[in-house]
Amino acid sequence: MVLKERQWYSYTGVIGISRDRGLQTICREGQKLPPVVFLAGPTLMPVGEAPLGSCGPTSVSRMLPFLETMKQLGTHLVIAKGTNSEVIRAFKQFSLAYGIAVGGAGAFYGTKIKQVLNKKYECLGAEGFFLVVVEELTFYVSVGGDVDGHFEPIP
């Protein structure tokens, strides 16, 4: 589906969750990544409705050095928080779509995770890698692109 810029969407399907050192490790090892990656680090204190605990987006600005490799490893859409001209330029340079999630909304995004399919690098704690199923993960498209998956525009 072509994600249009300046439009809110909700996504239902499989995503990868990682950040900082987890992402650095994946990129260094050349591990395959899913098409949609949510840059986040959960609290890992589950409650019934949130299997990884609170899990809001982290700042995209620290992850810009990994974008090129993420693209090569299979990612088409990155969801995180924060923007400025440097961020937008980086996503456009590597032809990656960028979705902005609401920063500081850990409880909201934590409850969007419905199932944990796989965990990697558990020794990194919150910075490990989590393959999960989400329902209606809300984000705003800052840099558009063509991404496979179930996306619903939010009016």
- The answer to the question of residue 77 lying near other proteins (CB under 8 A) is no
3-state secondary structure of 118: strand
| 116/9 Cα distance (integer angstroms) | 22
Q: State the Rg of the chain over Cα.
A: 14
- The answer to the question of residue 43 lying near other proteins (CB under 8 A) is yes
Task: Pick between residue 22 and residue 34 the one whose CB is nearest to other proteins.
Answer: 22
Cβ at position 72, least distance to other proteins in Å: 25
Pick the binder of other proteins from 50, 73, 79, 90 (CB under 8 A). 50
| 72/77 Cα distance (integer angstroms) | 12
Cβ at position 107, least distance to other proteins in Å: 4
Contacts of 108 (CB under 8 A, 6+ apart): 56, 102, 138
Contacts to other proteins by CB under 8 A: 6, 8, 21, 40-45, 47-50, 53-56, 58-62, 81-84, 87-88, 100, 102-108, 110-111, 123-127, 138, 140, 142, 154
